[in-house]
Amino acid sequence: MNGKLKGKHFITLRDWSNDEINLLLDVAGDLKRKFYMDVPTPYLPYKTIFLMFFEQSTRTRNSMEAGIAQLGGHANYLDTGTMQIAHGEVAKDTATILSSYGHGIACRHCVWGVGNQYITEMAKYASRPVMNLQCDLYHPMQGVADLMTIKEKFEDTKGLKVSIIWAYATSHKKPISVPLTQCLLFTRYKMDVTLAYPEGFELPDWVIEESKANALASGGSFKISHDIDEAFKDADVVIPKNWGSWSSKQENVDIELFKDWKCTEARMALASDRVCYMHALPADRGNEVDDSVIDGPHSIVFQEAENRLHTAKAVMALTI
């Protein structure tokens, strides 16, 4: 790759080759080992990254702030409600100015039909790398952390049965960016991916077609199911997580009809003996999943969440 990642935007993993993602994971693993051994990693001394948030955050904000500090740099947290964005300043102007003040810009903007467009517009005018901390379409930071976690547990992903499953929740209308990213990414790594959901919670057609093409090219598989028990059967990894409807045709879907779309002990028993339960968090406990599952022996959600720190550091170390 000859240093081509320096200055590269991190907006969607569709723009990153498997070789580039593999390097990112290798760097993340090295940073994780050094973190455990208390070996300093000041790879970005005196570098500044701006963290722009249009929505709330726990893991994303803290993994980025802690990560840049551990790399020797500094993060400026920016609540966009207190910026001139609130008065109408456009993405071009914000990106041009912030990238002249520091070394990178990272942004979370999940409003449907707006978020990815805004982040992409910033990247067009920024003189430094722009990183997507989740938008309406993609969550690349979560995607690489998920892939790292799966590789830590299973090493070889060929033929691994992974089920991405819609689950009932009442906490808030969650974006489609996590399952969308997982479908597009996991199918590139020879996994046998099942996407399961009640009718009315489809992902965009182009996502399905690209996932099928990725699976065909890698030697994996991709299928859709509307049967939650079928999705759990013999699965090695289950990722039951809510996502909201994203188009006007789905606005009238009655979510209360699907309260039984829940991760329970009984459903986990349908999966393989080595099954792992994953979730990007925060989980809607009692609705998406039973406490006995998320806190049980098959859950790797906290390992998955911890890896957000190390993959975030890897992204910054490679691109800034």
| Overall pTM surpassing 0.85 (yes/no) | yes
With residue 215 as reference, give the H or E element that holds it. Answer: helix 205-218
Torsions phi, psi for 163 (to 5 deg): -115, 120
Q: What digits encode the pLDDT tens for the residues 124-150?
A: 999 999 999 999 999 999 999 999 999
Same topology, domains 13-139+307-319 and 142-305? Answer is yes
Res 249 pLDDT > 60: no
**Secondary structure (3-state) at 251:** coil
Query: DSSP letter string over 143-192?
Result: HHHHHHHHHHHHS--TT-EEEEEE----S----SHHHHHHHHHHGGGT-E
Q: How far is CA 311 from CA 113, 151, 257, in A?
A: 27, 13, 38
Res 2 pLDDT > 70: no
Confidence of residue 244 (pLDDT cuts 50, 70, 90): confident
Q: What digits encode the pLDDT tens for the residues 266-283?
A: 999 999 999 999 999 999
> Considering the chain, what percentage of its residues have pLDDT values greater than 70?
97
Read off the pLDDT of each residue in 283-304 and give the average, rounded to a whole number.
98
Question: What fold does the segment set 142-305 form as a domain?
Answer: Rossmann fold (3.40.50)
Look up residue 114 and give its amino acid.
V
**Domain ranges across the chain:** 13-139+307-319, 142-305
Question: What fold does the segment set 13-139+307-319 form as a domain?
Answer: Rossmann fold (3.40.50)
Res 3 pLDDT > 80: no
Look up residue 3 and give its amino acid.
G
